[in-house]
Amino acid sequence: MTEQALKIAFIGFGEAAEAFWTGLDQAEVLAASAYDIKTDSDDPDVRQAMLERYDRLAVSGCASLADALVEADLVFSVVTADQASVVANQAASVLKSGALFLDCNSCAPQTKQASARTMASGQGCYVDVAVMSPVNPKKNRTPLLLSGDYTEPAKVALDRLNMNATIEPGPVGRASSIKMVRSIMVKGMEALFAECLIAGRLAGVDEAVLASLEASNPGFDGVRKGGYNLERMTQHGIRRAAEMEEVCHFLKHLGIADPLSARTVTWQQRLGSLGVTVDENDYQASTDRLIESLKLNPMKEA
């Protein structure tokens, strides 16, 4: 990388891309382009919303992946986990020599290693990136772990952009292993909260249950955490389900058959598919909305 202003590109232009772009030091950026598959949607409203998003954030929206990447020095791949290897394979043939490809997607190490091998057939430089916390509100300061052969130039570039990257020594897959194992707990707790709150509301005992958990674990704060977790699942459950599918792939590779995380996939997918907006500050009203959407019946008094 030179000290000239960077040309950067985003593959996928959702929450993560917007958070990074609006937070990073744009004075270090010569040009920013993006390609999002939503611009290919059959739904004109979906297409128009993405085009307006490009305009609002002053990013050059491109009609194809190749158009977005051809001049890029630094590429952020921020798509859903099930599309990560697809876009890495497509990008491999169009990246210019020395371009850094930051795979920021929540994928199993084996998936990222396969993408890195494909990238090696072209001119791009693959970097395994693990995003270690929600991108909001930290935006560009969201902790990132980097692993693989090109971590040093990647960190230099990210530092220039005022991003928060740490090198995790090791090959591609090392950073993602940390992310995947962490997600067992984080996304699994979200699913447990959902099942607990829904069951509690159906049985009419949710307040007593949360009070009991607080008494046993001071500071547990189930009222706040429960509402927050429901909001995360309803807004991002489909993406989280794809991530947890990758977790299950990783666990099976480790020899852990029939992982509990498979049920996390089910709950994340179930709530993410409802299309329900909930209020994270009111877990009871939010849970009741989910119960109505799931067509569940509260337990009647005997």
Asked if pLDDT for residue 77 goes beyond 80, the answer is yes
Superfamily name with CATH number, domain 6-172: NAD(P)-binding Rossmann-like Domain (3.40.50.720)
Angle at 44 between CA 41 and CA 48, to 5 degrees: 95
CATH architecture of the domain covering 180-294? Orthogonal Bundle (1.10)
- Look at 31 and 301; give whichever has higher pLDDT: 31
Which alpha helices (DSSP H) does the chain contain, by range? 15-23, 44-56, 65-69, 84-92, 109-119, 151-160, 174-203, 206-216, 222-253, 261-272, 283-294
Residue positions counted in the chain: 302
Spatial contact of 299 and 202, defined as CB atoms under 8 Å apart: yes
The pTM of the whole model exceeds 0.85: yes
Q: What is the mean pLDDT of residues 227-252?
A: 96
Strand partners, 35: 11
Three-state DSSP at 101 gives strand
Listed in order, the ranges of the chain carrying CATH 3.40.50.720 are 6-172
Listed in order, the ranges of the chain carrying CATH 1.10.1040.10 are 180-294
- Rounded mean pLDDT of the chain? 96
